[in-house]
């Protein structure tokens, strides 16, 4: 148990710097998805889009999925007609790297609801967006403007593994609900927490 807690402390990231700016246009990109399709952000012009950086072996990501917190957030997105893109920037040979069949198996076994799982093994898209952690979340409105970036919720920090994530203040749900209601997003940037993205060195 002490080893696990030490590991989580080492993995915990608390970073405010990003490579994209909230309230400006989100940079375009194109990646292959888990079915071999080319998927571009521009394909979803006119839709709100959520970007989720993930690594299934990260204890933080695992807890978000094990508790249903990530799926609950995806469900709200689906109900609102929001496009959800899960992005894997783990390089080959690093934690979280998977082949397409494994990615699809994870989606099914966890009852996850992304529209696409995208592969960024060179890390170009992740670095362009300044994705630091898994998870690291971004919400882009139907005009292509980045409206939120940061953590999925406010549950990060000491005692994360003992927290009830479904009772946390979910920044992504809040942003989606506010955008849906034509309101300004109240929390536009938060500090992401999780495991470091395993970029190609």
Beta strand residue intervals within the chain, DSSP E: 30-33, 38-40, 49-53, 83-88, 116-119, 133-134, 136-140, 146-150, 195-196
Residue 157 included in any domain: yes
pLDDT of residue 1: 43
Q: What is the pLDDT of residue 48?
A: 98
pLDDT < 50: residue spans in the chain: 1-18
112-149 pLDDT tens trace? 999 999 999 999 999 999 999 999 999 999 999 999 99
180 in any annotated domain: yes
Predicted structure pTM score: 0.91
Q: What pLDDT was estimated at residue 19?
A: 78
The three-class DSSP label of residue 85 is strand
Which pLDDT score is estimated for 170? Answer: 98
Question: Kind of pairing, strands 116-119 and 83-88?
Answer: parallel
In a domain, 201, yes or no: no
Residue 201 has a pLDDT of: 85
How many domains, the chain? 1
Residue 24 lies in a domain: yes
The CA distance from 131 to 187, in Å, is 18
What CATH number is given to the structural domain containing 102?
3.40.30.10
């Amino acid at each position: 148990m002490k080893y696990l807690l030490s590991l989580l402390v080492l993995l915990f990231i608390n970073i405010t710097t990003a490579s994209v700016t909230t309230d400006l246009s989100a940079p375009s990109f194109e990646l292959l998805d888990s079915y071999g399709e080319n998927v571009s952000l521009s394909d979803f012009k006119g839709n709100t889009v959520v970007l989720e950086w993930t690594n299934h072996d990260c204890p933080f990501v695992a807890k978000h999925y094990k508790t249903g917190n990530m799926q609950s957030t995806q469900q709200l997105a689906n109900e609102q007609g929001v496009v959800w893109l899960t992005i894997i920037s783990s390089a080959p040979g690093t934690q979280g790297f998977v082949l397409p069949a494994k990615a699809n198996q994870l989606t099914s076994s966890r009852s996850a609801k992304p529209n696409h799982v995208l592969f960024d093994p060179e890390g170009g898209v992740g670095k362009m967006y300044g994705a630091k952690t898994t998870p690291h979340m971004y919400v882009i409105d139907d005009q292509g403007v980045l409206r939120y970036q940061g953590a999925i919720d406010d549950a990060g920090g000491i005692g994360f593994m003992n927290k009830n994530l479904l009772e946390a203040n979910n920044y992504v749900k809040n942003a989606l609900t506010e955008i849906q209601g034509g309101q300004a997003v109240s929390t536009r940037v938060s500090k992401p927490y999780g495991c470091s993205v395993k970029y190609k060195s």
